[in-house]
């Protein structure tokens, strides 16, 4: 989905809620979710495959290998995704057929590869018709898609292994190597930049102001249009000119695909009124730009009234239209940029005594994870692949370490000197041991951990590092000193840092939403400085129903956009 953002000196993104009843796009979950977020990052990747030193199964000639690609679900189930062609008579095949897959930053995309030697009698068949149980199994390998795309060469070499007898445990035999290579599709890299403006937006009623924003959606054959991009909200403006919007060809399908552009009046209640809309493809918008003319907005017929669209006096103009090739998130990764994960855990007394089953910190001997552990794993498992040394700073706050005063930023590993642990497992181990080595106390303050994270980020900057830091704060309660937290966030807003705050437990987190500029105004410090970027995302943790996207995944999905806006605004190139 979308890769659209407003620039650093940013305006507000709209708050969530369904569109007004007059719009055809109302009441749809995808729209609701989109309006609550700033768009998901998905990029089309083409995977190509080759192998070396494969097993020789045929007596008289070499193997004729084919590769089958599976996606692996969280529970381990394999779903076949793709088959290459058969390469004849080779132990070092390079397959021509490529597999197109959408890279989704917020998901751990596990892949498994099975290689087969295809028997001569089947060589003229379409590979899709081949029955795998009739072929000779040559070996298997597995990996996660992020491992492939973060390699500088975008190629990952895996050992193919073969188990002689699945019943016998022991080391599987190595039988060659598989090389998986990823390329980003051109359609993801070509971006259109447009500056849109409207004139003479109609007053909805005499006393209300118009705070307009645009929502651009892709029109699909069946169903409700899919939102792709939205502009910032301009206050009290009847001749709005929004900041440039960037759309990649991949997001909209093609330059000729029709797009719906709707102009809404922002309402803090979440029910935005539709002011008017137009339907244009990117190619149409390009023509509007070159002619300099405007297009009248229209309102669709409301139920019960006449069946005509009502044409409005308001017009939309395309002030700028240019196409270019822009560096993508994956380009920066290939160029050596990293995402560094940091975590801070709330050890205040409101969580409850960790030894009692009703505590949010209860470590269940049966192995069932508590909310803190689930949040750590969901975020850590995705982010770990983007960190080359997998050493993560981990802190606790709001507790008294043994024989000490209350600390609002203590090292989770109990060390006095260094705050890092090894891998996601290291975080889990340090967390459980900290639980029994500290006394839960309070109050809930984020200022110290945020300042500490900001210090690490700025030290890395000073050392010339190309690292972007992600701080995950997991808390059960509302922050006590809101202003000190705001001050720390404003100071950090100019650094390569994003802060994800996950709220666990049943507290009312309404006040915490203030920290997330998506839902309100830009944060202001006590000295009059204003946050230059929105670096905080907040979400209450809740269990998902099957099929729903996890709330933490929705948080993670914003990261590539925040990363890109930081890099692009400073003109930092990927250095490829």
Partner 1 sequence: MSPFNLKATSSFQTLEITVLSCEDLCINGRSVKKNTCVVVRTDPLNFRETTTDTEGGSYPSWDQKLALDMSIRETCITLEVHCRTLSVDRIIGSARMPVNDFMGGYFPQGYLSFLSYRLKDPKGLDNGIINVSVRLRVPEYLSRGK
Binding site for partner 1 (CB under 8 A): 8-9, 11, 234-237, 455, 458-459, 461-462, 464, 494, 522, 524, 527-533, 569-571
CB atoms within 10 A of CB 309: 13
Q: String of b and e for 5-34 (b: at least 16 CB within 10 Å)?
A: bbeeebbbbbbbbbbbeebebeebeebbbb
- Residue among 181 and 529 whose Cβ is closer to partner 1: 529
Beta carbon nearer to partner 1, 406 or 523: 523
Name the minimum Å distance from CB 16 to partner 1: 23
Question: Which of 9/283 has CB closer to partner 1?
Answer: 9
**Least distance CB 409 / partner 1 (angstroms):** 18
Give CA–CA dist 417/403, Å, rounded: 17
Q: Using alpha carbons only, what angle is made at residue 511 by residues 342 and 446, rounded to the nearest 5 degrees?
A: 30
CB 51 within 8 A of CB 13: no
Looking at the Cβ atoms of 278 and 453, the one nearer to partner 1 is 453
CB of 457 to partner 1, least distance (A): 9
The nearest distance, CB 528 to partner 1, in angstroms, is 5
Q: Assess whether the previous peptide bond of 443 is cis (omega < 30° from 0).
A: yes
The least distance separating partner 1 from the CB of residue 521, rounded to whole angstroms, comes to: 10
Backbone torsions φ then ψ of 327, nearest 5 degrees: -65, 135
Nearer to partner 1, 11 or 16 (CB): 11
Q: Please, what is the minimum distance in Å from the beta carbon of residue 242 to partner 1?
A: 10
221: exposed, middle or buried (Cβ count in 10 Å: 0-12, 13-18, 19+): exposed
Nearest to 475 by CA among 449, 438, 439: 449
In eight-state DSSP terms, residue 446 is -
H or E segment and range at residue 469: strand 467-475
Q: Are 321 and 304 in contact (CB under 8 A)?
A: no
Locate tokens 């209450």: which residue? 540
Rounded-to-integer distance, Cα 302 and Cα 324, Å: 40
Q: How far is the CB of 461 from partner 1 (least distance, A)?
A: 6
Nearest approach in angstroms of CB 570 to partner 1 is 5
CB nearer partner 1, residue 61 or residue 459: 459
* 504: nearest Cα among 471, 478, 541: 541
User: Smallest gap, in angstroms, from Cβ of residue 314 to partner 1?
Assistant: 18
Of 11 and 172, which CB lies nearer to partner 1 in the complex structure?
A: 11
Distance CA 370, CA 117 (A): 46
The residue (of 378 and 534) whose beta carbon lies closer to partner 1 is: 534
Q: How far is the CB of 495 from partner 1 (least distance, A)?
A: 9
E strands of 108-172, at which residues? 110-117, 136-144, 155-162
- Which of 9/549 has CB closer to partner 1? 9
**How would you class 377 by CB atoms within 10 Å of its CB: exposed for 0-12, middle for 13-18, buried for 19 or more?**
middle
Tell me which H or E stretch contains 377.
helix 371-383
Q: Specify the residue, 17 or 294, whose C-beta has the smaller distance to partner 1.
A: 294
* Nearer to partner 1 (CB atom), residue 527 or residue 546: 527
3-class DSSP state for residue 380? Answer: helix
Packed helices 447-462 and 482-492: angle between N→C axes, nearest 10 degrees: 10
């Amino acid at each position: 989905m979308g890769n659209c953002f407003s620039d650093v000196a940013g305006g507000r993104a709209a708050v969530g809620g369904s569109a007004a009843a007059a719009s055809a796009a109302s009441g749809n979950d995808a729209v609701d979710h989109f309006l609550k977020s700033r768009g998901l990052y998905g990029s089309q990747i083409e995977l190509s495959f080759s192998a070396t030193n494969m097993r020789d199964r045929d007596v008289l000639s070499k193997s004729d290998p084919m590769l089958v690609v599976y996606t692996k679900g969280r529970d381990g189930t394999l779903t076949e995704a793709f088959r290459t062609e058969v390469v004849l008579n080779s132990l070092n095949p390079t397959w021509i057929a490529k597999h197109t897959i959408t890279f989704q930053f917020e998901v751990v995309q596990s892949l498994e590869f099975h290689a087969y030697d295809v028997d001569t009698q089947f060589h003229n068949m379409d590979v899709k018709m081949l029955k795998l149980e009739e072929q000779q199994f040559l070996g298997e390998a597995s990996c996660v898609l992020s491992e492939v795309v973060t390699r500088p060469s975008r190629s990952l070499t895996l050992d193919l292994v073969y188990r002689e007898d699945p019943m016998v445990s022991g080391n599987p035999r190595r039988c060659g190597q598989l090389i998986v290579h990823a390329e980003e599709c051109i359609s993801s890299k070509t971006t259109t930049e447009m500056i849109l403006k409207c004139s003479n937006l109609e007053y909805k009623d005499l006393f209300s102001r118009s705070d307009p924003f645009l929502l651009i959606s892709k029109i699909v054959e069946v169903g409700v249009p899919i939102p792709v991009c939205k502009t910032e909200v301009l206050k009290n403006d009847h001749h709005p000119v929004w900041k440039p919007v960037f759309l990649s060809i991949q997001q909209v399908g093609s330059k000729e695909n029709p797009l719906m552009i709707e102009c809404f009046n922002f309402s803090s209640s979440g029910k935005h009124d539709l002011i008017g809309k137009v339907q244009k493809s990117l190619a149409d918008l390009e023509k509007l730009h070159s002619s300099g003319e405007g297009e009248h907005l229209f309102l669709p017929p409301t139920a019960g009234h006449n069946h005509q669209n009502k044409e409005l006096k308001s017009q939309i103009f395309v002030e700028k239209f240019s196409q270019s090739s822009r560096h993508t998130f994956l380009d920066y990764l290939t160029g050596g940029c990293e995402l560094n994960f940091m975590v801070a855990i709330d050890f205040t007394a409101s969580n409850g005594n960790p030894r009692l089953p009703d505590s949010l910190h209860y470590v269940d001997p049966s192995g069932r994870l508590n909310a803190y552990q689930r949040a750590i794993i969901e975020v850590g498992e995705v982010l770990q692949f983007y960190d080359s040394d997998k050493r993560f700073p981990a802190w606790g706050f709001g507790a008294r370490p043994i024989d000490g005063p209350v600390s609002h930023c203590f090292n989770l590993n109990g060390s006095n000197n260094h705050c890092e642990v090894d891998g996601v497992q290291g975080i889990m181990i340090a967390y459980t041991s900290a639980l029994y080595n500290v006394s839960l106390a309070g109050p809930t303050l984020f200022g110290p951990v945020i300042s500490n994270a900001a210090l690490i980020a700025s030290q890395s900057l000073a050392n010339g590092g190309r690292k972007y830091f992600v701080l995950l704060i997991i808390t059960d309660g509302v922050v006590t000193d809101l202003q000190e937290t705001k001050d720390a966030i404003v100071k950090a807003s100019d650094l390569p840092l994003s802060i994800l705050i996950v709220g666990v437990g049943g507290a009312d987190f309404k006040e915490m939403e203030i920290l997330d500029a998506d839902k309100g105004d830009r944060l202001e410090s006590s000295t009059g400085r204003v946050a230059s970027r929105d670096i905080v995302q907040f979400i209450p943790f809740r269990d998902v129903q099957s099929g729903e996207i996890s709330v933490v995944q929705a948080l993670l999905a914003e990261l590539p956009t925040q990363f890109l806006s930081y890099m692009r605004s400073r003109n930092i190139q990927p250095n490829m």
